[in-house]
Chains A and B, each alone.
Chain A
Amino acid sequence: MAEQGSPVRVTYDYVTRTIARTLGTPSRGYFLLLGAAVALLGVGIITLLFLLRYGLGLAGYSHPVYWAVFITCFVFWVGIAHSGTLISAILFLFRSGWRTAVYRTAEAMTVFAVMTAGLFPLIHIGRQWYFYWLIPYPNERGLWPNFKSPLIWDEFAIGTYFTVSTLFLIMGLIPDIAAVRDLATGWRKKLYALTSIGWTGSNEQWRHYTRGYLYLAALATPLVLSVHSVVSWDFAMALVPGWHATIFAPYFVAGAIYSGCGMVITLLTPIRKIFGLEEIITVKHFENLAKLCLLTGSIVGYAYACEYFMAWYSGNPTERAAFWYRAFGPYWWATWTMIICNGFLPLLLWFKKIRTNITALFVISIFVNIGMWFERYVIIVVSLAGEPYEPWANAVYNPTWADWGIMAGSFGWFFMWFLLFVKNFPAVSISEVKEVLAPPRGKASKAHV
């Protein structure tokens, strides 16, 4: 794991102690960050109270733009979630050893990002207390949900994704919680004794656990590909030019993984520094994440090119008008931000010098996040605002303070959970990092007897 020539010998004991050390008493900086996250969440809650009192008009909703920043943020956060499952499940099936050091962080990010994403449809429906109408339950009118609607598919997809990714995260945590339980003292010992549910690492436990984990990974793999496909069908099933395209499912999945890898880099850079995990999360890991970004970013860039090519090649005047409006209409700045950040920026990652420079990667990852947020904004808002079927209704929509307030709240909510997680549970997998090390070997020695 360690860089060649590194003075530290990475042994099992070193791994356990280094990762367990991250759970010590938090520093003042940690509390400052946590305070900032909670303050942002407070902004979101206050904004939500205003929305409840005065209605969704506060968020700038008006004909024809009824899906705006809230749905943009929903797709953005679901997308962020995807790379976590890619790293934890798909790369697990591919047996790629480098995932072990980064997958826990990515997986926790997945769970918290889906939790964040799930808030947006609720905020968007305006009357949150009626959310249970989405659930098929026997009601007094004998009505059932319309299963032909992509919105219901989405509810099932996101519900399943949240449940399965949470279970997958908890499953992976159990042996590691047991490892920190055996080192901890005080209240932490009690917490970990309870949450490790009796893990001892016995052969029977490993036997059922490793099999079960394999099947969970095998189930999570098609799930993660399906979730963003279903999210994309929320749009692709509609007849709006700019939405109604068969390319949407793979295009969204690639974009999701691209943005998620960006977010993993954004989160890992400070964690590695603050917790002193340089020997465990090495430059190699960052380089591999950058390669994933390069691959998926190139797919996204190719999808942009395809969309424009098809708009022109189809000869369909409404399709052409929609895409002309995108690039040269009043929202040109959003479209070009997206094209530059997602289509051209990842090309920098062809250079090994940039891929192995963590500062450069951190900066690029932030632009990846910005670019991917704008991608969803362009697809959702700009397609609706410039709807060429009813040009008389076209309107320039602008997000209001209520949109930004809710969005700030969502970042606060996400980072609050993430910060609480990394300080209370092992943010790097202890047992899986050991799995890629050489096991301690030595001939049976009489000296010990």
Chain B
Amino acid sequence: MALPLPKPLNDLFNPPPTPGVLAVFPYLDATIDAIKKLRGAGHTDFTVYSPIPRHEIEDALGQAVSPVRMFTLVGGIAGCSIGAWLTLWMSADWPIVVGGKPVGSIPPYVVIMFEMTILFGALSTILGILFNTMFAARRAGTILYDPRFTNDRFGIFVPAGSDKVAKVESLLRDAGAEEVRRG
């Protein structure tokens, strides 16, 4: 879905096109077969489209666990620390004794620290998802897509130069692709 954007954004979000082959699959197991065959033939940088996340696809691709979890962890720790700093430093900055309690009393501040942990953890998780998917999209370049992939079809795009296209096409057809096209 290429959107018309101003130039610097366009360079960022609409990377240059990558030549290759797109196959449309009606069945999940045919898609898995194709993934296994492609990996067997030494392809690693292909993209699999699916309407829903399926663990079979993840297993077949043998992907590493997403680094988003580090974003969550760092965000959460940062939020907790900011919450502690906010409450303790601000209490010490203008010390007022309230209800006979110590100026820097930890138990009530735990509530703020907790809420800040969640807030920052969630925000950095979102940033983690956005950054990681954006970088992945830039690596892949602008590739072929079919609107049926959000409905009921699975797809595989294999980047291939003119020397390898025919071979990849026959591999995908053998695996059970109902439609194969070049782009």
Contact = CB atoms under 8 A, between A and B. Distances in A.
A198 B13 CA distance: 9
B147 A442 contact: no
A238 to B, nearest CB: 12
A441 interface: yes
Contact of B33 (A171, A209, A444, A449): A444
A202 B48 contact: yes
Nearest to B53: A206
B26 to A, nearest CB: 6
B59 to A, nearest CB: 12
- Counting chain B CB atoms within 10 Å of each CB, the highest count among A175, A206, A223 belongs to A206
A371 to B, nearest CB: 29
Contacts of B111: 153, 156-157, 226, 230
A159 B120 CA distance: 12
A207 B121 contact: no
Nearest to B98: A148
A210 B173 CA distance: 30
Contacts of B51: 12, 16, 179, 201, 431, 434
Interface residues of A, number: 69
Contacts of B132: 204, 208
B136 A13 contact: no
Contacts of B174: 444
Contacts of A12: 51, 151-152
Given A142-B93, A205-B136, A16 B68 contact: no
Interface stretch (A112-120, A214-222, A384-392): A214-222
Interface of B is mostly: helix
Contact of A444 (B30, B57, B140): B30
Contacts of B152: 11-13, 16, 440
Given A208-B132, A439-B28, A442-B29, A219 B125 contact: yes
A160 B13 CA distance: 30
A219 B65 contact: no
A219 B176 contact: no
Nearest to B119: A160
A219 B33 contact: no
A203 B129 contact: no
Nearest to A448: B178
B119 A204 contact: no
B119 A163 contact: yes
Contacts of B166: none
A261 to B, nearest CB: 23
6 contacts: A167-B123, A193-B3, A202-B49, A208-B129, A219-B72, A219-B76
Counting from the closest, the 8 A-B pairs by CB-CB distance are: A444-B176, A182-B147, A12-B152, A204-B136, A144-B90, A211-B66, A212-B129, A179-B150
Given A159-B119, A219-B121, 14 more contacts: A148-B99, A157-B111, A179-B150, A179-B151, A182-B150, A198-B1, A204-B137, A206-B50, A206-B53, A208-B132, A216-B122, A219-B76, A435-B53, A443-B27
